[in-house]
Chain A
Amino acid sequence: EAAVTQSPRNKVAVTGGKVTLSCNQTNNHNNMYWYRQDTGHGLRLIHYSYGAGSTEKGDIPDGYKASRPSQENFSLILELATPSQTSVYFCASGRGANQDTQYFGPGTRLLVL
């Protein structure tokens, strides 16, 4: 059974619209992460969380918000979507220890028109 799931798997949004990407993990991990993947850039960290109620800015947070209402759930919110946010988004979880493995979800493909 998949330990990190994401929804939706595919999303088409309009410029200026609000988009919410959801992530759920059953690993009971403290840390969760949101990345975007673009050709030539690899995976870039947008936001991360140490636990319920916590959100931290990653390396490219502009234009994104995050919410961690519970240990299991972590959402990425695009309040005003732009075409430059067209990408594949991955959620991951980890225990939070240094040298720790991160476990990734299957990704959400977002197209902003």
Chain B
Amino acid sequence: QQQVRQSPQSLTVWEGGTTVLTCSYEDSTFNYFPWYQQFPGEGPALLISILSVSDKKEDGRFTTFFNKREKKLSLHIIDSQPGDSATYFCAASGNQGGSAKLIFGEGTKLTVSS
């Protein structure tokens, strides 16, 4: 049972365009939502994260939005670059007594074409 759903599974955008990735979740106790970026042959690495008390967080060309009422979040990449080509995972967690377990979405493979 996938508690965090991510779409689309894959996406191709032109260099300079805007990329939008989306996630939805089910558990209303989730309060932390990181996005991880994974390049081929490497492990995932934290890209940006947001807490449920916020609705937007920005880091350079990357912005994540959070909608608590709809249980949805999104990642926007402006001025997308070929170097952004990677697989992106959204994840979620709540207060779990020190385990800090993350529930990951299925991932979106992004290709930025020049």
Establish whether residues B107 and A42, one from each chain, have CB atoms under 8 Å apart when the complex forms.
yes
How far apart are A14's CB and chain B's nearest CB, in angstroms? Answer: 25
Assuming A4-B43, A99-B51, A106-B43, is B99 touching A43 (CB within 8 A)?
Answer: no
Q: Which of A61-69, A74-82, A90-98 sits within the interface?
A: A90-98
Q: Which of B14-22, B66-74, B89-97 sits within the interface?
A: B89-97
Q: What residue in chain A is nearest B32 (Cβ atoms)?
A: A99
How far apart are B42's CB and chain A's nearest CB, in angstroms? Answer: 6
How far apart are A54's CB and chain B's nearest CB, in angstroms? Answer: 11
Establish whether residues A106 and B41, one from each chain, have CB atoms under 8 Å apart when the complex forms.
yes
Assuming A42-B6, A90-B44, is B99 touching A48 (CB within 8 A)?
Answer: yes
Collect the chain B residues with CB atoms within 8 Å of residue A42's CB: 2, 4, 6, 89, 104-107
Q: Mark A71-113, 1 if CB is under 8 A from B, else 0.
A: 0000000000000000000101011111111111111000000
B111 part of interface (Cβ distance < 8 Å)? no
Q: Mark B32-45, 1 if CB is under 8 A from A, else 0.
A: 10100000011111
Collect the chain A residues with CB atoms within 8 Å of residue B2's CB: 41-42
Establish whether residues B93 and A92, one from each chain, have CB atoms under 8 Å apart when the complex forms.
no
Collect the chain B residues with CB atoms within 8 Å of residue A31's CB: 98-100
Number of chain B residues whose Cβ lies closer than 8 Å to a Cβ of chain A: 29
Number of chain A residues whose Cβ lies closer than 8 Å to a Cβ of chain B: 30
Collect the chain A residues with CB atoms within 8 Å of residue B95's CB: 98
Collect the chain A residues with CB atoms within 8 Å of residue B98's CB: 31, 50, 96-98
B112 part of interface (Cβ distance < 8 Å)? no
Collect the chain A residues with CB atoms within 8 Å of residue B106's CB: 40-42
Chain A interfacial positions (CB closer than 8 Å to B): 4, 31, 33, 35, 40-45, 48, 50, 56, 58, 90, 92, 94-107
| 23 A-B pairs in the complex with CB atoms less than 8 angstroms apart | A33-B101, A40-B9, A40-B106, A42-B4, A42-B89, A42-B104, A42-B105, A48-B99, A50-B99, A56-B99, A58-B101, A90-B43, A94-B100, A96-B99, A97-B98, A99-B32, A99-B100, A100-B100, A101-B46, A102-B100, A103-B45, A106-B41, A106-B43
Nearest 3 CB-CB pairs, A to B? A104-B43, A42-B104, A43-B104
